[in-house]
């Protein structure tokens, strides 16, 4: 598969690696120089909308993104980062039983409540797995399946996550429809496994008892779970391509950004995520912070909201403007939008756990019925939800010395300027890029090297710092109405 490649600047041979981000809205592929990390090629392709998706759409988008990125013939290693938690269920032939339920599908909210009670309450789950299950987690989706589609649940021969399934397809073990597929070749990594609800990041082992709790006694004895590869471990395909373990998208972003303890990243994709790397696991019984693992052997406590960049998309749609227009409008209104507050639970919410909530506008007066006030309230409301998440991480002992802002929503000027007013800290915005795919590429280079640690690709380029005095009114007025459901 690998053809020799030379550097266009030095003419000397170089080794290329690829990283994939199979995210909620699209698939992105980067090809980078394994040694320096320099970007060589990039491609992306959209995913379908919706909270349940046929995994075949991810495979198709991956192929299209690879084609845009100029193919993989000269690539020596590849890793896949992907949206976390999605439930991919396979039958004994390796066929997908039903469309995958994604992390932002809330139909398993009651299953989460039931499972939480059955194990002895939220702290029992946090102690067992690091996290209190909510509708996002795979384990609750499996319980939902057992209760609502028992005929499908009975056919499950393997359960995996979006990044595991894509890695399996790329490896060839996922085969082509109609061909033999090898379920025992499924692999995952600890970062993504830690978001299933049936894995303990502290022991590095699956909690088969919790899989049984979801699906019924004995289920775990007939269901294949992906083998959890060690950080840096790989599999080598017959054609020589090295496949890394891959990672959940947030853990991959931590690798891509080169995060160290003290760094906290705010990611504004479809999800809003506040995450930190930590040497110690979190076990937050309030459920605000999820105690996930990272892709290096450490931990990744994070708070994740269901409502981030799409709040901006929705506000722009309501106002009939594009993103630049929304940003200009938001920046033309005063901090606090003269008391107009948007609680942006447009997709329900996960942190805090309010799956059935809807968005609400508070403080509407004649004077605030302007596009500028609504635009400002949308940006502030989205950021306030994440500031609450940062508080939850601090309550877990997370030290915050640096705040980084990434993801599609970080391209908004208004977000960049308003974020320091909300968080009360300077905000560092690395140059817009695909940090999940970059982290996956860095993991691929690590897997290829066989070294103990990932290669040092240096800090992200082109970082700009945004500073502004904190505006306490923004969070105060949000906190006053956030719980008025």
Binding site for ligand ADP (CB under 6 A): 23-26, 269-270, 309-310, 312-313, 323, 407-409, 411-412
85 binds, among ligand 5SP, ligand ADP, none (CB under 5 to 8 A by kind): ligand 5SP
CB of 221 to ligand 5SP, least distance (A): 29
Q: Does 85 carry a binding-site annotation?
A: yes
Q: Which is nearer to ligand ADP, 310 or 373 (CB)?
A: 310
Scored b (16 or more CB within 10 A) or e, 450-482 reads eeeebbebeebeeeeebebeebeebbebbeebb
Identify what 304 binds: ligand 5SP, ligand ADP, none; CB under 5 to 8 Å per kind. ligand 5SP
Pairing of strands 299-305, 5-6: unpaired
Burial class (CB in 10 A: 0-12, 13-18, 19+), 180: exposed
Residue closer to ligand ADP (CB basis): 173 or 405: 405
Q: What is the DSSP string of 319-364?
A: HT--HHHHHHHHHTSPTTGGG-EEE--BTBBTTTTBTT---EEES-
CB of 409 to ligand ADP, least distance (A): 5
- Supply the minimum distance, in Å, between the C-beta of residue 23 and ligand 5SP: 4
Which is closer to ligand ADP, CB of 157 or CB of 331? 331
Between 250 and 396, name the residue whose CB sits nearer to ligand ADP.
250
Shortest distance in whole angstroms from residue 270 CB to ligand 5SP = 4
Residue 273 interface partner, choices ligand ADP, ligand 5SP, none, CB cut-off 5-8 Å depending on type:
ligand 5SP
CB of 451 to ligand 5SP, least distance (A): 28
For residue 338, cis peptide bond before it (omega within 30 degrees of 0):
no
- Measured over the CA atoms of residue 228, residue 446, residue 66 and residue 268, the dihedral's sign is positive
By a kind-dependent CB cut-off of 5 to 8 A, residue 409 interacts, out of ligand ADP, ligand 5SP, none, with ligand ADP
Q: Given the structure tokens 């909530």, which residue do they identify?
A: 357
Q: How far apart are CA 71 and CA 69, in angstroms?
A: 6
Q: What's the min distance (Å) between Cβ of 408 and ligand ADP?
A: 2
Q: In whole angstroms, how far apart are CA 268 and each of 252, 279, 383, 440?
A: 15, 25, 9, 19
CA distance 355 to 349: 5
Binding site for ligand 5SP (CB under 6 A): 23-24, 83-85, 103, 136, 195, 249-250, 269-271, 273, 304
Annotated binding residue at 84?
yes
Strands 263-268 and 402-406: parallel
Q: Which is nearer to ligand ADP, 37 or 407 (CB)?
A: 407
Q: Which does 26 bind (CB under 5 to 8 A by kind): ligand 5SP, ligand ADP, none?
A: ligand ADP
Cβ atoms of residues 76 and 33 within 8 Å: no
Instruction: Look at residue 108 and give the partner it binds from ligand 5SP, ligand ADP, none, a contact being a CB closer than 5 to 8 Å depending on partner kind.
Output: none
Nearest one of 223, 225, 245, 248 to 234, comparing CA atoms:
245
Which one of 33, 105, 164, 249 is the catalytic residue?
Answer: 249
239 catalytic, yes or no? no
In this complex, which beta carbon is closest to ligand 5SP, that of residue 371 or of residue 433?
433
Q: How far is residue 409's CA from residue 313's CA, in Å, rounded to a whole number? A: 9
In 3D space, the residue among 23, 22, 4 whose CA is nearest the CA of residue 273 turns out to be: 23
Annotated binding-site residues for substrate read: 84-85
- Catalytic annotation, residues: 249
Residues comprising the binding site?
A: 84-85
């Amino acid at each position: 598969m690998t053809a020799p490649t030379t550097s266009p600047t030095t003419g000397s041979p170089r080794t290329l690696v690829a990283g994939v981000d199979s995210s909620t809205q699209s698939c992105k592929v980067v090809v980078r120089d394994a040694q320096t990390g320099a970007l060589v090629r990039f491609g992306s392709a959209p995913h379908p909308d919706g909270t349940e998706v046929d995994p075949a759409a991810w495979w198709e988008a991956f192929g299209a993104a690879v084609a845009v990125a100029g193919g993989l013939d000269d690539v020596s290693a590849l890793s896949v980062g992907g949206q976390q938690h999605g439930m991919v269920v396979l039958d004994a032939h390796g066929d997908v039983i039903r469309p995958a339920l994604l992390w932002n599908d809330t139909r398993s909210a009651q299953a989460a409540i039931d499972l939480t009670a059955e194990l002895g309450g939220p702290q029992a789950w946090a102690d067992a797995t690091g996290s209190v299950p909510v509708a996002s987690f795979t384990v609750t989706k499996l319980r939902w399946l057992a209760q609502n589609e028992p005929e499908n649940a009975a056919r499950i021969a393997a359960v995996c996550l979006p990044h595991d399934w894509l890695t399996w397809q790329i490896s060839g073990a996922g085969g082509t429809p109609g061909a033999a597929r090898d379920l025992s070749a499924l692999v995952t990594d600890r970062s993504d496994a830690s978001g299933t609800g049936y894995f303990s990041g502290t022991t590095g082992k699956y909690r088969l008892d919790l899989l049984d709790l979801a699906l019924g006694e004995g289920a775990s004895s007939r269901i294949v779970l992906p083998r959890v590869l060690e950080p840096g471990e790989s599999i080598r395909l017959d054609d020589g391509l090295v496949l890394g373990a891959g990672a959940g998208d947030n853990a991959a972003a931590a690798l891509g950004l080169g995060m160290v303890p003290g760094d906290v990243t705010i990611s504004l994709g479809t999800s809003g995520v506040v995450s930190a790397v930590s040497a110690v696991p979190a076990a937050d019984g309030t459920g605000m912070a999820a105690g996930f693992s990272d892709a290096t052997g450490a931990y990744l406590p994070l708070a994740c909201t269901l409502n981030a960049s799409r709040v901006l998309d929705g506000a722009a749609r309501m106002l009939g403007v594009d993103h630049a227009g929304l940003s200009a409008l938001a920046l033309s209104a005063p901090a606090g939008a003269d008391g107009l507050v948007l609680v942006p639970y447009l997709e329900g919410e996960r942190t805090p756990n309010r799956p059935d909530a809807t968005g609400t506008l508070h403080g509407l007066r004649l004077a605030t019925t302007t596009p500028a006030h609504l635009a400002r309230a949308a940006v502030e409301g989205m950021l306030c939800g994440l500031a609450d998440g940062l508080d939850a991480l601090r309550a877990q002992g997370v030290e915050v010395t640096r705040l980084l802002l990434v993801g599609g929503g970080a391209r908004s000027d208004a977000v960049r300027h308003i974020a320091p007013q909300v968080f009360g800290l300077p905000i560092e915005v690395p140059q817009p890029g695909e940090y999940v795919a970059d982290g996956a590429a860095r993991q691929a280079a690590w897997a290829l090297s066989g070294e103990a640690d990932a290669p040092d690709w240096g800090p992200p380029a082109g970082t700009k710092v945004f500073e502004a005095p904190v505006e306490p009114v923004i969070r105060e007025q949000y906190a006053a109405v956030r719980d008025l459901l």
